[in-house]
Structure 1
Amino acid sequence: MPSDIPWRGRTGLPPVNNGVPEHGRVPKYFAVARQVSAMLADLRPGDPVPTERELVEQLGCARETLRRALDELVLAGRLHRTRGRGTTVAEPKLILPLVLRSYTESLADAGMSPQRRPVRGEVIAAGPVLAGKLGIANGDKVVHLERLLIAENEPIGLESTYVSLARFPTILEDFDPTTSLYRTYVTAYGIRLTTGQEIIETVLASPREAQLLGTNPALPMLLMHRDTWDEAGEPVEHVRALWRGDRYAVTTALRG
């Protein structure tokens, strides 16, 4: 498999014809991105890449063209920018399965260290859409738990979970937001999640979300909306999770 394709997925094939149109003409930044990407084959994750001045001299391109190429490689998850460290080779994307289990369990199974950092815990009034998802009346009280999802000390996602206050009246006192919420459902309330539905789309982060995740607002994100039900078919939670597109990918099994 070619190693110089700048936006080749970490787990997929390169674009057809290596992304080059049939007429063979590509933008200058695309060609430069392929050249820089080829250099990364000799580097390890975390290694610094040459400076802009060095790359401009080596590749013989304009600085503006180089910057566009580097931006594309950052968006593709090949490069990572950090204040104080500059631009480095990015770690491989974290690939987690789409299954009905907690983030903590999925990350632990992948051999990584999961962490959650609480951002907000509050009681709000449900609007008509949220009320419908939770099977409650419009205006009923809902608990909102917002947490930052961290893998190997790096923020990769921002998760908001909404549950009915009537069903979980003491969850703000019972639940340690640095641990698994699914485990709390079982141990404190005897509730097990049995079915769920998830919708995934691509979005851009809001300025607040980008600040919490420490990313550029232009970075593509994966937005997941998940609704889950218990053994009796009653709705338990609605989750809105925003995942960094440069650090996170999903996998699922398909059966006919």
Structure 2
Amino acid sequence: MDYPNDQAPGAPVRSGIPEHGRIPKYYAVKARIAALLEELGEGGVIPTERDLAERYDVARETVRQAVRELVLEGRLRRRGRGTVVAGPKLTQPLSLASYTEGVRRQGRTPGRNLVTLDRFPCPDALAAETGLNRGEPVWHLERVLLADEERVGLESTYVAVGRVPRLDTDFDPDSSFYAYLTTRGIAFGDADERIETVLATPREALLIGTPPALPMLLIHRISRDVDGGPLERVRSLYRGDRFSFTTRLSGTTRLSG
């Protein structure tokens, strides 16, 4: 099937041109820089703001706004004092699959850096949300998520100590928590998941290594075992410029609109 130039699959509607047809100067520069990225390829260093401003005969602030948007979209990334062409985003399925499996399927090497592992009595809010008993001991496992040594997210997991009493001694923090549960005969049944866009807190931005203004994808998950009992509560924060998520809708799903 033939598509108009601005209606090809994956292209923005009308290529971002407003109905009145007047294109903001920064957007025109952004489009020209985007074409340049195709020539440079992944890892290529783009010219400086001054060089781009001279090349396109615009003010440096116009170039700065265009580059800023390309960084937020994940098409460029900062490296040291320069800006380079970013690789494709990591795509994670919305399913009961581990982060490790999703990253490995894309030929990348997953990893995690432990931030904290502690235990405390289950607070009222967590008990109400998960079905755990108020006051029962729970673990809190917090780790920075890596892909090829690049920091891409932050994950916090809450699980009852009674489920995994030796988590602090038997578990390798750099490994898959789901695989750890499986080896102990704990099977996942189902889960409720919610996604929203947020800005990282100053602490989260520092741990992930991103500017506080960078949009993040936040996933809340409450998992249950095959008997419907509470299993884990997970809060996963992913860089919006490095991740996208996919799911499959079955024919029984009713669509509207």
> Does the Cα contact within 8 Å between 1:45 and 1:88 map onto a contact in 2?
yes
Question: With structure 2 as the length reference, what TM-score do the two structures score?
Answer: 0.91
Distance 2:167 2:40 in 1: 47
- Secondary structure of the 1:25 match is coil
What amino acid is aligned across from residue 229 of structure 2 in structure 1?
E
Aligned to 1:21: 18
Match of 1:241 among 226, 236, 246: 236
Match of 2:144 among 148, 159, 162: 148
- Deviation, 1:28, is 2.1
Given the superposition, is the C-alpha separation of residues 55 and 130 from structure 1 closer, same or farther in structure 2, using an over 3 Å criterion?
same
- Secondary structure of the 1:26 match is coil
Distance 1:133 1:15 in 2: 39
Distance 2:26 2:202 in 1: 27
- Secondary structure of the 1:241 match is strand
Distance 2:181 2:192 in 1: 18
Structure 2: gaps (5+ residues)? 253-257
Aligned to 2:105: 109
What amino acid is aligned across from residue 85 of structure 2 in structure 1?
V
Confirm whether residue 51 of structure 1 aligns to residue 73 of structure 2.
no
- Deviation, 1:29, is 1.7
> Does the Cα contact within 8 Å between 2:132 and 2:230 map onto a contact in 1?
no
Distance 1:106 1:220 in 2: 21
User: Can you list the C-alpha shifts for 1:129-168, whole angstroms capped at 9, x where unaligned?
Assistant: 2112332233332210001111111111110000112332
Aligned to 2:132: 136
- Deviation, 1:74, is 0.2
> Does the Cα contact within 8 Å between 1:163 and 1:237 map onto a contact in 2?
yes
Which runs of structure 2 are paired with 1:31-70 in the superposition (5 Å)?
31-70=28-67
Match of 2:176 among 176, 180, 199: 180
RMSD of aligned C-alpha atoms?
2.1
Aligned to 1:100: 96
- Deviation, 1:172, is 1.6
- Secondary structure of the 2:140 match is strand
- Secondary structure of the 2:18 match is coil
Aligned to 1:193: 188
Distance 1:111 1:89 in 2: 19
Distance 1:187 1:17 in 2: 51
Confirm whether residue 163 of structure 1 aligns to residue 146 of structure 2.
no
Confirm whether residue 30 of structure 1 aligns to residue 27 of structure 2.
yes
What amino acid is aligned across from residue 214 of structure 1 in structure 2?
G
Aligned to 1:227: 222
- Deviation, 1:118, is 0.8
> Does the Cα contact within 8 Å between 2:91 and 2:102 map onto a contact in 1?
no
Confirm whether residue 82 of structure 1 aligns to residue 75 of structure 2.
no
- Secondary structure of the 2:245 match is strand
> Does the Cα contact within 8 Å between 1:131 and 1:140 map onto a contact in 2?
no
Aligned to 1:253: 248
What amino acid is aligned across from residue 158 of structure 2 in structure 1?
Y
Which runs of structure 2 are paired with 1:116-127 in the superposition (5 Å)?
116-127=112-123
- Deviation, 1:193, is 0.8
- Deviation, 1:90, is 0.6
Distance 1:121 1:62 in 2: 50
What amino acid is aligned across from residue 33 of structure 1 in structure 2?
K
- Secondary structure of the 1:129 match is helix
What amino acid is aligned across from residue 30 of structure 1 in structure 2?
Y
- Secondary structure of the 1:233 match is coil
Count of aligned residue pairs for this structure pair: 249
